[in-house]
């Protein structure tokens, strides 16, 4: 169990114990309905969508091979060795491609 899951479980159980101790007539389900959602707020969703659009725009500025290598490494979880074999380049060349691509993406995102 992850530490965050463990903390959430403890907090939830503590809240339920306190509700039971007060012997209030309200239903636990009613209280749970009033608790804020753990999902993103509409504002957070809008910001995330905007950032995703900016990232995609910056990705389009990369060369096709480098863009595909970045997607393979950071979205598909491929190893540098797998990517080097796929693009038929030496391993150190693939590392250089990815490092320079990330620098380009960082510069693009900071504008």
Same domain, 52 and 94: yes
How far is residue 66's CA from residue 74's CA, in Å, rounded to a whole number?
A: 12
Please provide residue 90's backbone torsions phi and psi, each rounded to the nearest 5 degrees: -65, 155
Mean pLDDT of the chain: 83
Residue 9 pLDDT: 77
Q: Is the pLDDT of residue 24 over 60?
A: no
More reliable by pLDDT, 88 or 23: 88
Question: Does residue 45 or residue 4 have the better pLDDT?
Answer: 45
pTM of this prediction exceeds 0.85: no
Give the relative orientation of helices 91-110 and 80-87 as an angle to the nearest 10 degrees. Answer: 100
Is residue 12 a part of any domain in this protein?
Answer: yes
Residue 64: give its domain's CATH number.
Answer: 1.10.10.10
How many domains does the chain contain in total? 2
- Structural domain containing residue 29: 3-34
Q: What is the mean pLDDT of residues 20-33?
A: 63
The answer to whether position 53 is within a domain reads yes
């Amino acid at each position: 169990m992850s530490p965050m899951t463990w903390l959430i479980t403890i907090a939830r159980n503590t809240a339920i114990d306190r509700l039971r101790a007060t012997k209030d007539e309200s239903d636990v389900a009613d209280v749970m309905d009033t608790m804020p959602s753990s999902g993103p707020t509409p504002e957070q969703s809008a910001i995330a969508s905007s950032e995703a659009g900016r990232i995609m725009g910056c990705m389009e500025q990369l060369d096709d091979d480098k863009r595909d290598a970045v997607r393979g490494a950071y979205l598909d979880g491929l190893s540098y060795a797998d990517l080097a074999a796929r693009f038929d380049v030496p391993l150190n060349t693939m590392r250089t491609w990815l490092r320079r691509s990330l620098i380009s993406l960082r510069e693009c995102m900071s504008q």
